[in-house]
Structure 1
Amino acid sequence: MTARDVKKIVLAYSGGLDTSVIVKWLQDAYGAEVVTFTADLGQGEEIEPARAKAKASGVKEIFIEDVREEFVRDYVYPMVRANAVYEGLYLLGTSIARPLISKRLVEIAHETGADAVAHGATGKGNDQVRFELAFAALDPSLKVIAPWREWDLNSRTKLIAYAEQHGISVPVDKRGEAPFSVDANLWHTSSEGKALEDPAEEAPDFVYQRTEDPQSAPDTPEYVTVGFERGDAVSLNGKVMSPAELLTALNEIGRKHGVGRLDLVENRFVGMKSRGIYETPGGTILMAAHRGIEQITLDRGAMHLKDELMPRYARLVYEGFWFSPEREMLQAAIDESQRHVTGEVRVKLYKGSANVVGRSSAETLYSLQHVTFEEDEVYNQKDAEGFIRLNGLRLRLMADRKKRLGKND
């Protein structure tokens, strides 16, 4: 398919400078009609102005949708069930939003008869991979257009000049050098680039947007109780809430206590290392609480297997393989493990920390009778002797061989 073959393109559209320029560039370079899709993922800013900007660019079909509930219910919660953390620290906030945006772009392409989809991700980052792997899984017949890999507008100065040349409004704050780039949704805020590019330098205070400085947080701890059913959070402090409502409430509580800050140098899928500042206040509390309820409801074997699978699951999410068969296979196993992960967890929040301090469940595997230091009638301590002897048999045999051969290794 050549540029002349493309008739209609669905663009992931934020209404910012980059995607506003992309609308005009697509119209000129491809001679095609452009449809825009703007998703409210809980990024914390008004998205309705995107409609007026799209109209001003000649867009006739404009989709603006509140997908916060779907985002948390169908993408964030499955990831929480897996306890997914990339490279030991990153809670995958940007990564987990891309599959939903991609799915809606493909669905809108089908609804409007479009033959192409487009995104504003650059050629250096992970997002281009995430979008395009999702498109490949959902409808490989659609042409994928990535302007940053095609045009010569490779600087902010050139973008602004192009915008002014074509009558595209440029926000005042875009005319100067942006101090850093931000991506946000209901799960997290990510800040990268410019002022943050030197990993040896501490991030300036102004970078943090979603959390208070832990040093300035309240001097009194706050306790929250998160209720779970089959691995999903369903209530906060006894009040039943929808997924998006609950995460929104946890974000506000976590913000106040400075919970969820992360300064990370991560390994991008495309090969380079990247430094980012992440803020995931509600997500940090939720992940800690989920681990807490699993501690008393999940069998040791299931828990250890989940912990072995988790890095693979997290890497699949990070690299854009949400719609892959292997992620779906892992999800099925993880979801099976959650059948009895039901109960309540109490979390203590204090100056940047979120620590589990209490767990209770009608489906608990915790037996006070077995673990008590007092006298009991359910556990014969003499049984441990045979258990240890059998488990140590192979070690004794290897020690005997070393002694027989006179070797130390």
Structure 2
Amino acid sequence: MSKTRKVVLAYSGGLDTSVILKWLQDTYQCEVVTFTADIGQGEELDHVRPKAQQFGVKEIFIDDLREEFARDFVFPMFRANAIYEGEYLLGTSIARPLIAKRLVEIAKITGADTISHGATGKGNDQVRFELGAYALWPEIKVIAPWREWDLNSREKLLAYAAEHNIPIAKKKGGGSPYSMDANSLHISYEGGGLEDPWWCPPDDIWRWTKNPEDAPNEPELITIEYVKGDPVAINGEKLSPHNILAKLNEIAGKHGIGRLDIVENRYVGMKSRGCYETPGGTVLLKAHRAIESLCLDREVAHMKDELMPRYASLIYNGYWWSPERKMLQTMIDASQERVNGEVRLKLYKGSVYNAGRRSPDSLFDATIATFEDDRGAYNQKDAEGFIRLNGLRLRTGAKRDQR
């Protein structure tokens, strides 16, 4: 413990990390640097600095990473159409490599030799933070208090805070009974009643999306423009990556789009039930697949779909900085060079529908696909030989079975 000189703590100012700050100072007798990331969680961060200063922290980093998060992490992931286990849009998972990256950067800037985080020993985030840090700085040391201390309940944390005069802000209305995590892509809910997979959460759990039953009775049409696989404009208005997400969250949330209730398989081995709201991301996934349907070659599209579960698992399990994820990203990004154009979508009562797509790089040829006279663009007699050749092995097998 005495060998730890200076620690960079991923610090939110909430109960867990407030206790961790004091615990690090007392247990390791080291200087603590705090780092707070604004990745679009929508919370005021004004309280963070004075709270850290109260405990003698001299180096306090509060970084606006919203654009970097959307541009360099969310958008590359959406180029891959990544979904974990068929449903989860990886909202929490994709934020962790950015936080790990910044923790390492700040450690180098401040001369720290250690980083620390508030992830528990049961969850995925400890893996994501630490694998990311080791990939970026192999010699970095990590302190994960939840794997060391005996403060393993909220009651013990509150008692520790009271004993050491650590102010804990009480949330309006008593706070949420759920463990929540938010960024500009999504908000998640775990714990509380959700630990019973049969329990149906009440409607007041949801923060970003209107109940689809109460959503507008008229559908809304929007158009998203794509350049090289990334959205660049909504309804003709050019927007930055973060503002694309923010605007789509607002529009889609109004129509009750993006709610999810799943039981997922954590990397550490257990199943976990969680609820998620990803309104803008749900729309972007639909839109991106729509524009790709026009612009991607069939075999390229199918290969992307075959590799997508592997890519999604890499992100979920914390391997964003791994060589295999980077290799897949290079291939995915190359596939997006001609993914340009516009997608029109209809949003209505919890669902999003394709309502048109067009592209200057479209591979759709109406003169070939038409059911009307194609004026010789496609010789239908060619299909006979195609079918007979592809059916050869089936016929051979069937003859063998008849013998």
TM-score (norm 2): 0.98
Partner in structure 1 of residue 246 of structure 2? 248
Q: 1:174 to 1:349 in 2, by over 3 A?
A: closer
Distance 1:318 1:181, change over 3 A: same
In the other structure, the counterpart of 2:156 is 158
Seq. identity, %: 64
Structure 2 equivalent of residue 67 of structure 1: 65
Q: Give yes or no for contact 1:210–1:255 (8 Å, CA) kept in 2.
A: yes
For residues 86-101 of structure 1, what are the structure 2 equivalents within 5 Å? 86-101=84-99
Counterparts of 1:57 and 1:302 in 2: how far apart (Å)? 55
Deviations 1:224-283 (A, max 9, x none): 100000000001001111100111100000110000000000000000100000000001
Corresponding residue for 2:199?
201
Show the counterpart of 1:400. Answer: 399
- Within 5 A, what are the aligned runs for 1:5-404? 5-173=3-171, 179-377=177-375, 378-404=377-403
Q: Letter of the aligned partner of 2:334 in structure 1?
A: E
Q: Which moved more, 1:161-170 or 1:73-82?
A: 161-170
The one-letter code sitting in structure 1 at the alignment partner of 2:124 is N
Deviation at 1:48, TM superposition (A): 2.3
Q: Shift of the alpha carbon at 1:175?
A: 11
Letter of the 1:385 partner, please give it: E
Instruction: Report the aligned-residue RMSD.
Output: 1.2
1:171 offset after TM fit, Å? 2.2
Aligned mates of 1:147, 1:398 — CA distance in 2: 62
Q: Are the aligned partners of 1:160 and 1:175 in contact in 2 as well (CA < 8 Å)?
A: no
SS at match of 1:93: coil
3-state SS, counterpart of residue 287 of structure 2: helix
Q: Deviations over 1:270-328 (max 9, x none)?
A: 00100000000001001110000000000000000000000000000000000000000
The residue number in structure 2 matching 1:407 is none
Alignment check: 8 A CA contact 1:224 1:236 kept:
yes
Contact 1:269–1:319 (8 Å) recurs in 2: yes
CA 259–178 in structure 1, closer or farther in 2 if over 3 Å, else same: closer
The separation in 1 between residues aligned to 2:393 and 2:88, in whole angstroms, is: 39
Count of matched residue positions in the alignment of Structure 1 and Structure 2 = 402
Distance 1:321 1:97 in 2: 12
Aligned residue type for 1:388: I
Is this contact kept in 2: 1:178–1:194, CA < 8 A?
no
Distance 1:209 1:329, change over 3 A: same
Cα shift readout 1:344-376 (whole Å, capped 9, x = no counterpart): 000110000011111000000001111111111
Contact 1:22/1:120, CA 8 A, preserved across alignment? yes
Offset, 1:17? 0.8
CA-CA distance at 1:173 after TM superposition: 4.0
Distance in structure 2 (CA, Å) of the matches to 1:200 and 1:33: 46
Q: Distance in 2 between matches of 1:45 and 1:175?
A: 16
The amino acid across from 2:79 in the alignment is R
Q: CA deviation at 1:195?
A: 1.6
Counterpart Cα distance in 1 of 2:172 and 2:222: 40
Q: TM-score, normalised by structure 1?
A: 0.97
Cα deviation, residue 144, structure 1: 0.2
Distance 1:326 1:180 in 2: 35
One-letter amino acid matched to 2:140: L
| Greater mean deviation of Cα atoms: 163-172 or 9-18 | 163-172
